[in-house]
């Protein structure tokens, strides 16, 4: 009976341990953590119109506040709506200003919002991908407000109005050139990290978009469905060719419909990429004309999980980043619960598919039903790097930094190669830290900061809890060099004498003394010694710094009353030679 009882206890303990580990999270070092930041109507940004110096500054601060919150959540990709509906948020030679910036279409602000957004994202270690709404152009009235700069007037043969809504015509050969020209203009002028094509598809069936005349004129052997898919693919390929010719490191992506195609056991319900809106994004990955996808997987249950695994099985070595419809957490939008989203996030990460994206920033930042807290605490407690572009053919690691030094709260290093190519940075630096020497750069918990443009870094925040540092160089394709480690001879736990000596140096003039002076103090009466408050050393999970308790001597006061000094907590490794 005793043996049986022991076996039962063992099994129970085993099951309990595994039950606790069901939702254990393995934090990846490489992961796309994206947020869509919409500008149409100012629904995410901007709420303030830039009409004078004061409102312009307020508009900038609105964006900085959003980006600060995203940085705190360790988001590393911001997808900023740049082409809205045949209008843009930067000074363009092709299309006019969208009304969202100044409150009036065609009216320019006193600054460049896109350049400002890029700089602020990069300052926070985040990539910025320019989000281009491709085919829809909004209402006829909207296009009229653009005047002579409306595409309906500059390129009337490329547009079609259906039920009051205006669209680019995918079957017109010039449409691919036009959309690609916008992507190229942005790429040439700005230090963007990606171009994201949204609505790169035919209008849904409810619009009854008719292009039979073009299909007949094409005299092709393809079916109409094949011809339509070929039209969309031609646009994607043209954008690829134009952008990559300028900056081959700029990441090309799209936001296709969340279901690629009906599966054997799970039907798409007519709303899918391949048959519903004539997209073929899996082929775009196969042919390397897209670097990644952000499918709009705004579904639950059987409408999410089977299609998630279908995407994962057909990604051809590229990241696919499921877009989660967190706006349904808002009771005004839907009835989703936090656990619905948590389960989808766990599933996406467990597949290793490439990352997680949120639609959209407003719902994340406002923490609907605790989604921001869960993101920060459970899923993204540490930074992550974006996925290296191994499929690009550019896989050579950059040169290793040299001569890493620490002085007065700043680490510096040398780099022998150029870090810029003309106007554009081509090399950045990643900072790692640990309380174990040498620093393990493969551990996600040790990544402290990424995309540092200069060869120095001021120790702050979580980095203050680290004793040793390492730095790597990383190029725009995500290739990372070997690390330069801070020079140190400390490779094992310090001796007891070294610890006592370190404490003496740190608490010089206080009651923290060595054993010899402690014995002397016991024999002599001393004045009351005031001790400072306990020094707290912040630690983080899961890398825990072992702390030692330093007990100070009991001292006798002139009234012979005995008092105990405070127990001090010290991170000794900081103070050792």
DSSP single-letter state for residue 279: -
Integer-rounded Cα radius of gyration of the chain: 29
The DSSP result for 173-241, as a single string, is HHHHHHHHHHHHHHHHHS--SEEEEES-SPPPGGG----HHHHHHHT-SS-HHHHHHHHHHHHHHHHHH
- pTM, to two decimals: 0.82
Token reading at 393: 């053919």
Is it true that 31-135+171-206+220-391 and 396-485 share their CATH fold? no
Tens of pLDDT, residue by residue, the chain (577 residues): 333 333 333 333 333 333 333 445 679 999 999 999 999 999 999 999 999 999 999 999 999 999 999 999 999 999 999 999 999 999 999 999 999 999 999 999 999 999 999 999 999 999 999 999 999 999 999 999 999 999 999 999 999 999 999 999 999 999 999 999 999 999 999 999 999 999 999 999 889 999 999 999 999 999 999 999 999 999 999 999 999 999 999 999 999 999 999 999 999 999 999 999 999 999 999 999 999 999 999 999 999 999 999 999 999 999 999 999 999 999 999 999 999 999 999 999 999 999 999 999 999 999 999 999 999 999 999 999 999 999 999 999 999 999 999 999 999 999 999 999 989 999 999 999 999 999 999 999 999 999 999 999 999 999 999 999 999 999 999 999 999 998 765 444 455 566 566 666 666 644 444 444 444 444 444 444 444 444 444 444 444 433 443 334 334 344 444 333 333 333 434 433 3
Contact between 335 and 12 (Cβ < 8 Å): no
Instruction: Give which of 83, 39, 78 is closest to 358, Cα–Cα.
Output: 78
- CA-closest candidate to residue 45, choices 107, 116, 140: 116
Domain boundaries, the chain: 31-135+171-206+220-391, 396-485, 511-572
What gap in Å lies between CA 229 and CA 223, rounded to an integer? 10
What topology is assigned to 31-135+171-206+220-391 in CATH? Answer: TIM Barrel (3.20.20)
The residues near 544 (Cβ < 8 Å, ≥ 6 apart) are none
DSSP 508: T
Cβ contact 571:536 at 8 Å: no
Q: How far is CA 538 from the centre of its chain?
A: 25
What pLDDT, on the 0 to 100 scale, is given for residue 498?
61
d(CA 288, CA 318): 9
Cα separation of 347 and 263, whole Å? 19
Structure tokens at 36: 């869509």
Cα 39 off chain centre by: 19
Q: Which residues pair with 77 in a beta bridge?
A: 34, 127
pLDDT at site 18 = 38
Domain 396-485 belongs to what topology? Immunoglobulin-like (2.60.40)
What is the β-pairing status of strands 77-83 and 127-133? parallel
Residue 463 carries which DSSP code?
A: G
How far is residue 180 CA from its own chain's centroid? 26
- Residue pair 447/116 in contact by the 8 Å Cβ criterion: no
Strand, helix or coil at 370? helix
Q: Decide if 522 contacts 513 (C-beta within 8 A).
A: no
Query: Beta-strand (E) ranges in 408-557?
Result: 410-414, 420-421, 424-425, 427-434, 447-452, 456-458, 468-475, 484-485, 548-550, 555-556
* Closest C-alpha among 114, 8, 136, 108 to residue 51: 108
> What pLDDT was estimated at residue 13?
35
Contacts of residue 185, Cβ cutoff 8 Å, sequence gap at least 6: 92, 93, 94
Cα dist. 8→11, 19, 360 in Å?
5, 16, 49
The closest alpha carbon to 200, from 253, 244, 254, 151, belongs to: 254
Side-by-side strand order, sheet with 456-458: 402-407, 410-414, 456-458
């Amino acid at each position: 009976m005793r043996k049986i009882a022991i076996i039962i206890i063992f099994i129970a303990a085993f099951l309990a341990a595994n039950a606790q580990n069901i939702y254990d999270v393995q934090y990846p070092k490489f992961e796309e953590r994206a947020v869509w930041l919409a500008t149409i109507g100012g629904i995410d940004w901007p709420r303030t119109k830039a009409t004078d110096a004061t409102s312009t500054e307020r508009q900038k601060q609105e964006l900085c506040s959003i980006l600060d919150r995203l940085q705190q959540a360790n988001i590393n990709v911001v997808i900023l709506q740049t082409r809205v509906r045949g209008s843009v948020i930067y000074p363009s030679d092709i299309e006019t200003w969208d009304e969202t910036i100044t409150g009036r279409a065609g009216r320019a602000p006193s600054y460049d919002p896109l350049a400002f957004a890029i700089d602020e994202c990069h300052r926070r270690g985040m990539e910025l991908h320019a989000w281009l709404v491709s085919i829809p152009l909004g209402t006829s009235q909207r296009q009229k407000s653009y005047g002579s700069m409306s595409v309906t007037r500059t390129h009337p043969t490329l547009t079609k109005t259906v039920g009051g809504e205006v669209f680019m015509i995918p079957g017109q050969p010039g449409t691919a050139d036009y959309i690609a020209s916008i992507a190229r203009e942005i790429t040439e002028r700005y230090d963007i990290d990606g171009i994201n094509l949204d609505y790169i598809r035919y209008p849904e069936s409810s619009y009854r978009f008719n292009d039979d005349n073009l299909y007949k004129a094409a005299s092709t052997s393809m079916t109409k469905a094949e011809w339509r898919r070929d039209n969309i693919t031609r646009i994607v390929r043209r954008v690829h060719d134009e952008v990559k010719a300028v900056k081959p490191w700029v990441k090309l992506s799209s936001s296709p419909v969340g279901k690629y195609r009906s599966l054997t056991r799970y039907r798409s319900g007519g709303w899918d990429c391949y048959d519903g809106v004539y997209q073929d994004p899996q082929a775009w990955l196969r042919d390397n004309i897209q670097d990644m996808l952000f499918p709009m997987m705004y579904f639950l249950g059987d409408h999410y999980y089977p299609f998630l695994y279908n995407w994962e099985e057909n990604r051809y070595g590229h990241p696919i980043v499921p877009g989660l419809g967190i706006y349904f957490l808002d009771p005004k939008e839907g009835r989703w619960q936090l656990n619905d989203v948590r389960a989808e996030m766990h599933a996406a990460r467990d597949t290793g598919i490439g990352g997680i994206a949120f639609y959209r920033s407003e719902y994340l930042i406002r923490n609907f039903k605790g989604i921001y807290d869960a993101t920060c605490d459970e899923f993204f407690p540490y930074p992550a790097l974006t996925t290296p572009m191994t499929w690009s053919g550019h896989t050579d690691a950059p040169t290793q930094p040299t001569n890493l030094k620490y002085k007065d709260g700043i680490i510096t290093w040398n780099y022998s190669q150029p870090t810029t190519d003309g106007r554009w940075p081509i090399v950045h630096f990643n900072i790692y830290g640990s309380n174990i020497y040498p620093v393990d750069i493969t551990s996600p918990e040790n990544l402290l900061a990424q995309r540092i443009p200069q060869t120095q870094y001021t120790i702050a925040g979580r980095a203050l809890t680290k004793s040793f540092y390492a730095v790597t160089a990383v190029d725009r394709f995500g290739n990372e060099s070997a690390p330069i480690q801070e020079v140190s001879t400390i490779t094992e736990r310090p001796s007891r004498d070294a610890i006592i000596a370190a404490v003496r140096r740190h608490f010089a003039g206080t009651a923290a003394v060595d054993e010899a002076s402690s014995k002397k103090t016991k024999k002599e009466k001393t004045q009351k010694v005031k001790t400072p408050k306990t020094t707290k050393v912040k630690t983080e999970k899961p890398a825990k710094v072992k702390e030692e308790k330093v007990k100070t001597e009991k001292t006798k006061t002139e009234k012979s009353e005995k008092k105990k000094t405070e127990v001090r907590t010290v991170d000794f490794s900081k103070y050792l030679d």
